[in-house]
Chains A and B, each alone.
Chain A
Amino acid sequence: MTPSDIIELLKQNHASSVVSAAAEGPYPHAVIKAEELKTIAAFLKTQPRLRFDLLRCISAIDWPAKNNIELAYDLISTSLGHAFAVKVVLDRADPQVESLSAVWPAAEWHEREAFDLMGVVFLHHPDLRRILMPEDWPGHPLRKDYQDIVEYRGLKFNP
């Protein structure tokens, strides 16, 4: 299916959940209401004409000027050979969204990474811990306003 077909199908079934959509351009995607994300994800995975069985990547994008954090979920259907992406926009001060690890198990570690480096909290995640940084690390390093640490366990950052 082409991106415009996918968007069409999405709007037919979940019109109220789709905030906006872009079928053209280098990155075809649909922006979804954050509270409807899990419903949409289950739909994208199980709908017979979509069958998005592979979650390739979760990207978290920090927009300090817009005061939000954007999540982009890249999806592929290995059986039907098409790709698409859905985005949600979260409040930067308190970014929270439902975990998709029940829909795509691959989401579990991607979400841990987004939590670790961007501070996005995934609700009902089975094991939401840091995945790369040490457990006691302060802050979330990939935020645009992140300040480098001065010292970590006796090691100076700028010796």
Chain B
Amino acid sequence: MALIEGIFEPGLVVTTVDWVLNWSRKRSIFPMTFGIACCAIEMIATGASRFDIDRFGSGAFRATPRQADLMIVAGTVTFKMAERLRRLWEQMAEPRYVIAMGACAISGGPYHVHGYHVVKGVDQVVPVDVYVPGCPPRPEALLEGLMRLQDKISTHTIAKP
């Protein structure tokens, strides 16, 4: 940016449509109010004042998938839950993103071998954008995951692939 600074008259802003779209999207990722197990407690802590996810524009936890951009799968996904989870994801408007939070959502975690009821990774059910490992991950880790998602969004383009 330094090369073109100070060249234009005041009031003129130069940007690209891609940049503006991505900028607005990545700074208002509204997560869905959706927690399945103990990871949800860390997600709640991330939303509260000490860690304050609102600094990243993601503090508005929506109570309906229709208004949400991000599904944080925070916990153990059982086979019974998988269908409900898929339906919630299908109800979200595009562009929609998924963070798999914690070992259970990533791979079944502690239930990988003996969990007769646990889906071995939520990526079997919905496409996952960012994996946040931990059992459970600390709020800082979830914020890191959110920042990686922001990085991913900033590479989007509306141009033909």
Residues of A within 8 A of B (CB): 132-134, 137, 141, 146, 148-149, 152-153, 155-159
Q: Say yes or no: B80 contacts A146, CB within 8 Å.
A: no
Decide: B121 and A152 in contact? CB cutoff 8 A: no
With an 8 A cutoff between CB atoms, is B117 at the interface? Answer: yes
Assess whether B117 is in contact with A141, with CB atoms less than 8 Å apart.
yes
Residues of A within 8 A of B39 (CB): none
Per-residue CB proximity of B107-145 to A under 8 Å, as 1/0? 000000000110111001100000000000000000000
A155-B83 Cα distance, complex, nearest whole Å: 10
Do the beta carbons of A134 and B124 come within 8 Å of each other? no
Chain B interface size range: 10 to 19
* A155 engages B124 (CB within 8 Å): yes
Query: Residues of A contacting B44 with CB < 8 Å?
Result: none
Q: How long is the Cα–Cα vector from A132 to B119 in the complex, in angstroms?
A: 15
- A-B contact list, 10 entries, CB within 8 Å: A132-B117, A133-B117, A137-B79, A146-B116, A153-B79, A153-B82, A155-B124, A156-B120, A157-B120, A159-B120
Closest residue of chain A to B107 (Cβ to Cβ) is A159
Give the A-binding residues of B (Cβ under 8 A). 79-80, 82-83, 116-117, 119-121, 124-125
Residue in A146, A149, A159 with the greatest tally of chain B CB atoms within 10 Å: A159
Specify which chain B residues have a CB less than 8 angstroms from the CB of A132 in the assembled complex: 117
A64 to B151, CA, bound (A): 55
| Secondary structure of the A contact surface, majority rule | loop
Most chain A Cβ neighbours within 10 Å, of B117, B119, B120:
B117
> Are B116 and A155 touching (Cβ within 8 A)?
no
Q: For the complex, give the distance between the alpha carbons of A158 and B120 in Å.
A: 7
Give Cα distance in the complex from A134 to B117, angstroms. 10
- For A149, the chain B residues whose CB sits under 8 A away are 116
List chain B residues, Cβ under 8 A from A134.
Answer: 79-80
Using Cβ atoms and an 8 Å threshold, which residues of chain B touch A141?
116-117
A137 — which chain B residues lie within 8 A by C-beta?
79
8 additional A-B pairs beyond A137-B79, A158-B120, A159-B121, beta carbons within 8 Å, are A133-B117, A152-B79, A155-B79, A155-B124, A155-B125, A157-B120, A159-B120, A159-B124
Please, how many angstroms separate the alpha-carbon atoms of A158 and B111 in the complex?
12
Q: Which of B82, B116, B119 contacts A148 (CB 8 A)?
A: B116
Q: Which of chain A's residues have a CB closer than 8 A to the CB of B119?
A: 155
Q: What residue of chain A has the Cβ atom nearest to residue B118's Cβ?
A: A157
What's the Cα separation between A157 and B30 when bound, in Å? 32
The distance in angstroms between the C-alpha atoms of A133 and B125, with both chains bound, is 18
Q: How far is the CB of B9 from chain A (nearest CB, A)?
A: 59
Minimal beta-carbon separation of B50 from chain A (angstroms): 35
Q: How far is the CB of A102 from chain B (nearest CB, A)?
A: 30
- Nearest chain A residue, comparing its CB with the CB of B83: A153
Residues on the A chain within 8 Å of B125, using CB = 155
Q: How far is the CB of B84 from chain A (nearest CB, A)?
A: 11
